A and B are shown apart, each in its own frame.
Chain A
């Protein structure tokens, strides 16, 4: 996949900033940005839209925590994790539970590009790597 030119990346970042409302991606603002682009199409519109979509997806992923678990997890635990991540990133975070038996026991939380894990599988992997 060819690299996106720096000029287009910078333009897409500006569009993303326009799409945020109190640090959160707003559907209305995204619709406004798209309408603007439709009326005033820049050069290489497809590249701009692809870069903008990628940035919006990444921004949305920062507001969604995917919690992988092996075994039952209490809804209160999920809520506590979402609250803790919201405090950490300074934005509302929603937690979504996903079963993952490979963890054996414990949790793995993915939010954006970050991963937090406390699981038997992870500890065994660390033990194996340390050996």
Chain B
């Protein structure tokens, strides 16, 4: 390349301006070439041992970030799904709980009504039994009173008859009794 540049410098007259300019700036083609070589070596070394690993690392990081983002999205989707599922389960559980509570209330109401009815029936039965016992007691007292009155009446009658009946009365009664007994 330097040869070409030198040749071109020598071949073209208008190129003398450029050479002069190069010369004026102190540019040495050999140095420039060395600079190019050094730069190339440096570039190669940098690319090989710094830029390439860095790029690889960055690619790896980018991949990890993308993977993380993807995982985050999947996780977010799963989270949303789990949230929705949990909400659905919570709603179902709430519905079930409400149903159980309603059934419990209904059962408690029925039980209360049954117990109330049973208590009323027991109370009525007790009242009826008490009335019957009172009626029986009243009848018993009445019967005892009647028997006592009858006993007193009979005893009084016997005493009166024992005093008042004459032998003639007794003879007449005995005659009638004999007639009755002969017909047995």
Kindly provide the distance from the CB of B160 to the nearest chain A CB, expressed in whole angstroms.
Answer: 10
Q: Decide yes or no: A131 and B146 within 8 Å by CB, A77-B178, A106-B177, A107-B178 being known contacts.
A: yes
Is B150 touching A127 in the complex (CB atoms < 8 A)?
yes
Question: Is B67 in the interface zone, CB < 8 Å from A?
Answer: no
- Interface residues in A77-91 by Cβ distance below 8 A to B read 77-78, 80-81, 83-85, 88
Kindly provide the distance from the CB of A83 to the nearest chain B CB, expressed in whole angstroms.
Answer: 7
Q: Chain A residues with Cβ under 8 A from B135's Cβ? A: none
Is A118 touching B171 in the complex (CB atoms < 8 A)?
no
Question: Is A48 in the interface zone, CB < 8 Å from B?
Answer: no
Q: Tell me which of A8-16, A51-59, A65-73 binds B.
A: A65-73
Question: Is A125 in the interface zone, CB < 8 Å from B?
Answer: yes
Is A77 touching B174 in the complex (CB atoms < 8 A)?
yes
Is B154 touching A105 in the complex (CB atoms < 8 A)?
no
Q: Chain A residues with Cβ under 8 A from B97's Cβ? A: none
Q: How many residues of A contact B (CB 8 A)?
A: 30
Is B184 touching A128 in the complex (CB atoms < 8 A)?
no
Number of A-B contacts (CB under 8 A): 85
Is B181 touching A104 in the complex (CB atoms < 8 A)?
no
Question: Is B3 in the interface zone, CB < 8 Å from A?
Answer: no
A105 CA / B180 CA spacing, docked (Å):
14
Q: In chain B, what residue has the closest Cβ to A81?
A: B181
Task: Kindly identify which residue among A74, A105, A124, A127 contacts B165, using a CB–CB cutoff of 8 Å.
Answer: A105
Question: Is B89 in the interface zone, CB < 8 Å from A?
Answer: no
Task: Kindly identify which residue among B151, B165, B173, B178 contacts A128, using a CB–CB cutoff of 8 Å.
Answer: B151
- Interface residues in A103-126 by Cβ distance below 8 A to B read 104-107, 109, 116, 118-121, 124-125
Chain B 149-184 interface 0/1 with A at a Cβ cutoff of 8 Å (1 = within): 111011001100110010101110111111111111
Question: Is B147 in the interface zone, CB < 8 Å from A?
Answer: yes
Q: Chain B residues with Cβ under 8 A from A106's Cβ? A: 173-174, 177
Is A104 touching B161 in the complex (CB atoms < 8 A)?
yes
Task: Kindly identify which residue among B157, B169, B174 contacts A69, using a CB–CB cutoff of 8 Å.
Answer: B174
